[in-house]
Protein backbone atom coordinates (compact mmCIF):
# COMPACT_ATOMS: atom_id res chain seq x y z
CA UNK A 1 0.00 0.00 0.00
CA UNK A 2 0.95 3.64 -0.37
CA UNK A 3 0.33 6.27 2.26
CA UNK A 4 -0.41 9.61 0.60
CA UNK A 5 0.12 12.66 2.79
CA UNK A 6 0.57 16.40 2.37
CA UNK A 7 3.23 18.28 4.34
CA UNK A 8 3.29 22.04 4.71
CA UNK A 9 4.76 24.88 6.74
CA UNK A 10 3.73 28.42 7.61
CA UNK A 11 5.46 31.45 9.12
CA UNK A 12 3.71 34.69 10.01
CA UNK A 13 6.17 37.36 8.97
CA UNK A 14 8.77 34.81 7.81
CA UNK A 15 10.51 34.74 10.19
CA UNK A 16 7.92 34.91 12.91
CA UNK A 17 5.51 32.58 14.69
CA UNK A 18 5.77 29.39 12.64
CA UNK A 19 3.89 26.16 12.22
CA UNK A 20 4.14 22.82 10.46
CA UNK A 21 1.62 20.10 9.65
CA UNK A 22 1.24 16.84 7.81
CA UNK A 23 -2.16 15.53 6.80
CA UNK A 24 -3.45 12.18 5.53
CA UNK A 25 -7.10 12.47 6.52
CA UNK A 26 -9.16 13.84 9.39
CA UNK A 27 -8.16 10.91 11.60
CA UNK A 28 -4.46 11.04 10.75
CA UNK A 29 -2.68 14.38 10.99
CA UNK A 30 -0.33 16.27 13.24
CA UNK A 31 0.82 19.86 13.71
CA UNK A 32 3.20 21.93 15.81
CA UNK A 33 5.52 24.89 15.56
CA UNK A 34 7.67 27.48 17.27
CA UNK A 35 7.37 30.99 18.61
CA UNK A 36 9.92 32.09 16.02
CA UNK A 37 10.84 30.34 12.80
CA UNK A 38 10.80 30.46 9.03
CA UNK A 39 8.54 28.98 6.40
CA UNK A 40 11.30 26.65 5.22
CA UNK A 41 11.79 25.39 8.76
CA UNK A 42 8.09 24.58 8.91
CA UNK A 43 8.16 22.81 5.55
CA UNK A 44 11.13 20.65 6.57
CA UNK A 45 9.74 19.91 10.02
CA UNK A 46 6.44 18.74 8.52
CA UNK A 47 8.27 16.22 6.33
CA UNK A 48 10.46 15.10 9.23
CA UNK A 49 7.51 14.50 11.54
CA UNK A 50 5.62 12.66 8.81
CA UNK A 51 8.53 10.23 8.42
CA UNK A 52 8.74 9.81 12.18
CA UNK A 53 5.01 9.25 12.60
CA UNK A 54 4.93 6.54 9.92
CA UNK A 55 8.17 4.86 10.94
CA UNK A 56 6.35 1.79 12.26
CA UNK A 57 4.70 0.80 8.99
CA UNK A 58 6.10 -0.87 5.88
CA UNK A 59 4.05 1.06 3.32
CA UNK A 60 5.39 3.30 0.59
CA UNK A 61 5.08 7.00 1.38
CA UNK A 62 3.96 9.59 -1.19
CA UNK A 63 4.58 13.10 0.11
CA UNK A 64 2.68 15.95 -1.52
CA UNK A 65 4.68 19.14 -1.05
CA UNK A 66 4.37 22.65 -2.45
CA UNK A 67 7.99 23.53 -1.57
CA UNK A 68 10.56 22.96 -4.30
CA UNK A 69 13.20 23.83 -1.69
CA UNK A 70 12.24 20.85 0.45
CA UNK A 71 11.90 18.42 -2.47
CA UNK A 72 15.24 19.41 -3.98
CA UNK A 73 16.98 19.44 -0.60
CA UNK A 74 15.97 15.87 0.19
CA UNK A 75 16.08 14.28 -3.26
CA UNK A 76 18.88 16.17 -5.04
CA UNK A 77 21.15 18.28 -2.87
CA UNK A 78 21.47 16.41 0.43
CA UNK A 79 23.91 13.68 -0.73
CA UNK A 80 26.34 16.32 -2.02
CA UNK A 81 25.97 18.43 1.11
CA UNK A 82 26.82 15.40 3.27
CA UNK A 83 29.97 14.68 1.28
CA UNK A 84 31.08 18.27 1.76
CA UNK A 85 30.47 18.19 5.52
CA UNK A 86 27.03 19.79 5.19
CA UNK A 87 28.34 22.72 3.23
CA UNK A 88 27.18 24.07 -0.11
CA UNK A 89 29.24 24.27 -3.28
CA UNK A 90 30.49 27.75 -2.32
CA UNK A 91 31.69 26.45 1.04
CA UNK A 92 28.99 28.19 3.07
CA UNK A 93 27.10 26.18 5.74
CA UNK A 94 23.82 24.63 4.66
CA UNK A 95 20.77 26.40 6.07
CA UNK A 96 18.51 24.44 8.45
CA UNK A 97 21.20 21.78 8.75
CA UNK A 98 19.81 20.34 12.00
CA UNK A 99 16.44 19.55 10.43
CA UNK A 100 18.07 18.19 7.29
CA UNK A 101 20.33 15.88 9.28
CA UNK A 102 17.33 14.54 11.19
CA UNK A 103 15.47 13.96 7.92
CA UNK A 104 18.53 12.15 6.58
CA UNK A 105 18.33 9.77 9.53
CA UNK A 106 14.55 9.38 9.31
CA UNK A 107 14.51 8.38 5.62
CA UNK A 108 17.10 5.62 5.97
CA UNK A 109 15.57 2.40 4.68
CA UNK A 110 12.25 4.02 3.79
CA UNK A 111 10.39 3.79 0.48
CA UNK A 112 9.18 7.23 -0.43
CA UNK A 113 8.76 9.74 -3.19
CA UNK A 114 7.80 13.39 -3.39
CA UNK A 115 5.25 14.99 -5.67
CA UNK A 116 5.14 18.74 -6.13
CA UNK A 117 1.72 20.34 -5.88
CA UNK A 118 0.94 24.00 -6.39
CA UNK A 119 -0.09 25.66 -3.16
CA UNK A 120 -3.30 27.61 -2.53
CA UNK A 121 -5.17 26.32 -5.58
CA UNK A 122 -7.67 24.12 -3.79
CA UNK A 123 -5.75 20.82 -3.62
CA UNK A 124 -7.63 19.03 -0.83
CA UNK A 125 -4.72 17.47 1.06
CA UNK A 126 -2.41 20.45 0.57
CA UNK A 127 -5.07 22.88 1.78
CA UNK A 128 -5.77 20.71 4.83
CA UNK A 129 -2.07 20.68 5.78
CA UNK A 130 -1.77 24.42 5.10
CA UNK A 131 -4.74 25.26 7.31
CA UNK A 132 -3.29 23.24 10.18
CA UNK A 133 0.23 24.64 9.80
CA UNK A 134 -1.11 28.17 9.78
CA UNK A 135 -3.34 27.34 12.73
CA UNK A 136 -0.29 26.27 14.72
CA UNK A 137 1.57 29.47 13.79
CA UNK A 138 -1.42 31.59 14.79
CA UNK A 139 -1.68 29.73 18.09
CA UNK A 140 1.92 30.61 18.90
CA UNK A 141 1.30 34.20 17.83
CA UNK A 142 -1.67 34.51 20.19
CA UNK A 143 -0.25 32.44 23.03
CA UNK A 144 -2.95 29.77 22.66
CA UNK A 145 -2.79 25.98 22.85
CA UNK A 146 -1.53 24.48 19.60
CA UNK A 147 -3.96 22.09 17.87
CA UNK A 148 -1.65 19.08 17.69
CA UNK A 149 -3.92 16.59 15.95
CA UNK A 150 -4.49 12.87 16.60
CA UNK A 151 -1.20 11.71 15.09
CA UNK A 152 -0.93 8.58 12.97
CA UNK A 153 -3.12 5.59 13.84
CA UNK A 154 -0.99 2.56 14.61
CA UNK A 155 2.23 4.54 14.84
CA UNK A 156 5.11 2.89 16.67
CA UNK A 157 6.84 5.29 19.02
CA UNK A 158 10.63 5.33 19.11
CA UNK A 159 13.26 7.54 20.73
CA UNK A 160 14.50 10.30 18.47
CA UNK A 161 17.55 12.53 18.38
CA UNK A 162 16.71 16.15 19.01
CA UNK A 163 18.69 19.25 18.23
CA UNK A 164 16.43 21.60 20.14
CA UNK A 165 18.00 24.28 22.36
CA UNK A 166 18.19 23.65 26.11
CA UNK A 167 15.40 26.07 27.04
CA UNK A 168 12.81 24.25 29.16
CA UNK A 169 9.09 24.67 28.65
CA UNK A 170 7.66 21.49 30.15
CA UNK A 171 8.57 18.76 32.61
CA UNK A 172 7.36 15.20 32.89
CA UNK A 173 7.92 12.92 35.85
CA UNK A 174 8.09 9.19 35.41
CA UNK A 175 8.18 6.57 38.14
CA UNK A 176 10.70 3.84 37.30
CA UNK A 177 11.20 0.62 39.27
CA UNK A 178 14.46 0.53 41.22
CA UNK A 179 17.00 -2.24 40.43
CA UNK A 180 16.24 -5.54 42.15
CA UNK A 181 17.71 -9.04 42.24
CA UNK A 182 14.19 -10.46 41.89
CA UNK A 183 13.42 -9.24 38.39
CA UNK A 184 9.78 -10.31 38.42
CA UNK A 185 8.84 -9.41 41.98
CA UNK A 186 7.20 -6.18 40.88
CA UNK A 187 4.49 -5.91 43.52
CA UNK A 188 6.85 -4.87 46.31
CA UNK A 189 9.42 -3.11 44.19
CA UNK A 190 10.29 0.44 45.28
CA UNK A 191 10.15 3.15 42.63
CA UNK A 192 12.48 6.00 41.83
CA UNK A 193 11.21 9.27 40.42
CA UNK A 194 12.95 10.71 37.38
CA UNK A 195 12.36 14.30 36.28
CA UNK A 196 12.76 15.00 32.56
CA UNK A 197 13.03 18.53 31.27
CA UNK A 198 11.70 18.95 27.73
CA UNK A 199 11.75 21.79 25.28
CA UNK A 200 8.46 22.98 23.84
CA UNK A 201 9.10 21.10 20.63
CA UNK A 202 10.08 17.88 22.39
CA UNK A 203 6.97 18.00 24.60
CA UNK A 204 4.74 18.53 21.56
CA UNK A 205 6.33 15.55 19.82
CA UNK A 206 5.98 13.37 22.92
CA UNK A 207 2.27 14.16 23.31
CA UNK A 208 1.62 13.55 19.60
CA UNK A 209 3.36 10.17 19.66
CA UNK A 210 1.62 9.12 22.85
CA UNK A 211 -1.76 9.91 21.35
CA UNK A 212 -0.84 7.97 18.23
CA UNK A 213 -0.37 4.76 20.25
CA UNK A 214 -3.18 5.41 22.73
CA UNK A 215 -0.96 6.04 25.74
CA UNK A 216 -0.34 8.85 28.17
CA UNK A 217 2.99 10.68 27.74
CA UNK A 218 4.15 9.23 31.07
CA UNK A 219 3.34 5.64 30.06
CA UNK A 220 5.08 6.11 26.72
CA UNK A 221 8.24 7.36 28.43
CA UNK A 222 8.10 4.44 30.87
CA UNK A 223 8.02 2.00 27.95
CA UNK A 224 11.16 3.57 26.47
CA UNK A 225 13.25 3.37 29.63
Identify the burial level of 79 via C-beta atoms within 10 angstroms of its C-beta, where 0-12 means exposed, 13-18 middle and 19 or more buried.
exposed
221 CB contacts (<8 Å, ≥6 apart)? 172, 174, 196, 206
37, 42, 49, 130: the catalytic one is: 130
58, 89, 90, 120: the catalytic one is: 120
Taking a C-beta distance cutoff of 8 angstroms, is the pair 18, 78 a contact? Answer: no
Alpha helices in 95-194, H assignment, sequence order: 97-106, 124-142
Q: Would you call 66 a catalytic residue per the annotation?
A: yes
Q: Would you call 104 a catalytic residue per the annotation?
A: no
Integer-rounded Cα Rg, in Å, for the chain is 19
Q: Would you call 59 a catalytic residue per the annotation?
A: no
Q: Would you call 120 a catalytic residue per the annotation?
A: yes
19, 32, 33, 43: the catalytic one is: 43
Residues known to be catalytic: 8-9, 43, 66, 120, 130
Amino acid sequence: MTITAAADGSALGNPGPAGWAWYIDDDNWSAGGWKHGTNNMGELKAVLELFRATAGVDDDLLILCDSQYVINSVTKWMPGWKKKGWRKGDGKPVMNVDLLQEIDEAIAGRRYRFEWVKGHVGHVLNEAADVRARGAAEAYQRGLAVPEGPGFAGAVAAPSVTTAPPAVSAATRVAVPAPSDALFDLENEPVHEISLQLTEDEHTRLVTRARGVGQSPEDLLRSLI
